[in-house]
């Protein structure tokens, strides 16, 4: 254990995991992992973790702003009670101005760090603040992760179909202003740039939803009902949405089967039944062929992959516990000096949860 430190707790300002989430719906497993990993890793260095979570999903941005504003007003006193602040920003663009003020005014030995989103990634925002040292951060390499997701679909397509397939990929991205909106662009850029290397004529379809399972399911069901386009692959910018897409496919498959079962009760001739049945079976075959690649590597996605799920092909693992380990190393380094250390941000590499093998892809 480190010996050059104080024992005051660290405040973690989380983006999701409110009491309403825990007791109801849409627990963001990724943020649960961040919280638990931070608690364990910091405790090994002798620090307790004080958790600040939003009281409701719909008010996250405002609550994070208000909480940080309160820190700004008493920033010189904060160091008496806490060792530092770690933030998982909901919307970095919204927090940048207040973070800039905190960084300009605060005690230089009091660390403020971010994880999941980085201060340096929003340099296009205009503000008149002199920040010598942006907060140290650890984020995943979004573009590299998108490239890995493309690799997974490419390997599957080539193994299963060879050159016979014309890929049509549905990209499910974060709705503007929602959590994950800021993450989607680099993930999609990484995906499409890599995918075009193998399939330059591939077609891309898009739907947008909040980074939530139920919202992605709603959008996918609407897409199935209203669009004549039939994608054969789906890239989701997070696993929550990937699971929502899977839920929609499962529901649609059951609905098609129910319609097939009803045909014999509708007074149709045998010829009419066979014709209608063929139409339904064609839709069923399309639903069953779709493969989904997610992003984050949450527990439920990994469990489905271990079980060889027929829809979920892979997920990009952002290695959240490793990100936390690197962040805590930055924090300890910061606390171990009387001078303000110049600690750069770290863009941590992603990995594919399921390794790319012909055997896996042939049986997926």
pLDDT, position 189:
95
> Are the beta carbons of 212 and 244 closer than 8 angstroms?
yes
- Average per-residue pLDDT in the chain? 79
What's the rounded mean pLDDT across residues 128-153? 82
SS3 at position 356: coil
- The residue-averaged pLDDT of 339-350 equals 66
pLDDT of res. 130 = 53
Integer Cα distance of 13 and 41 in angstroms: 16
The C-alpha atoms of residue 110 and residue 131 are separated, in whole angstroms, by 14
Q: Which residue is associated with the tokens 């952002």?
A: 318
What share of the chain in percent tops pLDDT 90? Answer: 35
Q: Does pLDDT of 106 surpass 70?
A: no
| 16 pLDDT above the threshold of 80 | no
pLDDT of the residue at 136: 80
Q: Say how far apart CA 90 and CA 63 lie, in whole Å.
A: 10
* Phi, psi dihedral angles at 256 (to 5 degrees): -65, -45
Mean of the pLDDT values across residues 273-292? 86
pLDDT at 166: 87
What's residue 3's pLDDT?
A: 41
Question: What tokens does 188 get?
Answer: 């999609």
Per mean pLDDT, which range of 78-82, 169-173, 241-245, 310-314 is the poorest? 78-82
Name the 3-class secondary structure at 233.
Answer: strand
52-66, 139-153, 158-172, 312-326: which has the minimum mean pLDDT? 52-66
pLDDT (0 to 100) of residue 2: 40
Name the strands in the sheet holding 351-352, side by side, starting at the edge strand that comes first in the sequence.
203-209, 168-174, 233-236, 291-296, 312-317, 351-352
**Sequence-separated (6 or more) residues with CB below 8 Å from residue 17:** 27, 28, 31, 32, 35, 53
Q: What pairing do the DSSP bridges indicate for beta strands 351-352 and 312-317?
A: antiparallel
Q: What is the pLDDT of residue 149?
A: 96
Residue ranges and CATH numbers for the domains of the chain are 10-141+319-349 (3.40.50.2300), 142-317+353-362 (3.40.50.2300)
pLDDT of residue 30: 81
User: Does residue 185 surpass a pLDDT of 80?
Assistant: yes
Q: So what's the pLDDT on residue 258?
A: 87
- The pLDDT confidence band at residue 337, using thresholds 50, 70 and 90, is low
- Residue scoring higher pLDDT (282 or 121): 282
- pLDDT of residue 94 exceeding 80, the answer is no
The pTM score is 0.83
Helix axes 299-306, 239-262, angle to 10 degrees: 50
pLDDT digits (tens, 9 = 90+) for 253-267: 999 888 888 877 777
pLDDT of residue 223 exceeding 70, the answer is yes
Q: How does pLDDT run across 146-169, given as a tens digit for each residue?
A: 999 999 999 999 998 877 788 999
- Rounded to an integer, what distance in angstroms lies between the CA atom of residue 23 and that of residue 243? 20
Please give the full DSSP string across 172-208, using - where no structure is assigned: EEEPTTSTTHHHHHHHHHHHHHHHHHH-TT-EEEEEE
């Amino acid at each position: 254990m480190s010996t050059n430190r104080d024992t005051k707790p660290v405040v973690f300002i989380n983006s999701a995991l409110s009491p309403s989430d825990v007791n109801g719906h849409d627990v963001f497993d990724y943020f649960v992992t961040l919280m638990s990993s931070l608690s364990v890793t910091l405790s090994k260095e002798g620090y307790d973790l004080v958790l600040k979570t939003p009281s409701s999903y719909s008010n996250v941005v405002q609550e994070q702003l208000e909480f940080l504003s309160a820190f700004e007003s008493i920033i010189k006193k904060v160091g008496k009670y806490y060792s530092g602040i770690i933030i998982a920003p909901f919307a970095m663009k919204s927090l940048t101005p207040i973070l800039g003020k905190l960084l300009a005014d605060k005690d230089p030995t009091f660390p403020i760090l971010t994880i999941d989103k980085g201060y340096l990634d929003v340099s296009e925002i205009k503000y008149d603040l002199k920040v010598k040292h942006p907060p140290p951060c650890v984020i995943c390499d979004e573009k590299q992760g998108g490239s890995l997701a493309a690799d997974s679909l490419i390997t599957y397509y080539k193994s299963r179909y060879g050159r016979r397939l014309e890929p049509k990929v549905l990209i499910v991205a974060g709705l503007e202003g929602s959590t994950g909106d800021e993450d989607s662009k680099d993930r999609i850029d990484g995906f499409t740039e890599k995918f075009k290397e193998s399939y330059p004529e591939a077609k891309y379809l898009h739907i947008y939803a909040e980074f939530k399972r139920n919202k992605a399911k709603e959008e996918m069901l609407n897409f199935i009902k209203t669009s004549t386009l039939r994608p054969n692959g789906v890239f989701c910018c997070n696993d929550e949405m990937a699971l929502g897409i899977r839920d929609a496919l499962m529901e649609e498959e059951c609905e098609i089967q129910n319609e097939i079962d009803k045909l014999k009760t509708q007074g149709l001739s045998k010829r009419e039944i066979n014709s209608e049945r063929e139409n339904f079976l064609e839709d069923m075959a399309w639903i069953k062929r779709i493969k989904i690649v997610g992003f984050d590597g949450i527990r439920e996605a990994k469990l489905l992959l271990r079980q060889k799920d027929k829809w979920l092909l892979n997920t990009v693992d952002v290695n959240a516990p490793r990100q936390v380990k690197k962040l805590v190393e930055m924090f300890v380094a910061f606390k171990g000096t009387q001078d303000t250390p110049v600690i750069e941000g770290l863009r941590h590499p992603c990995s594919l949860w399921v390794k790319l093998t012909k055997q896996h892809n042939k049986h997926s």
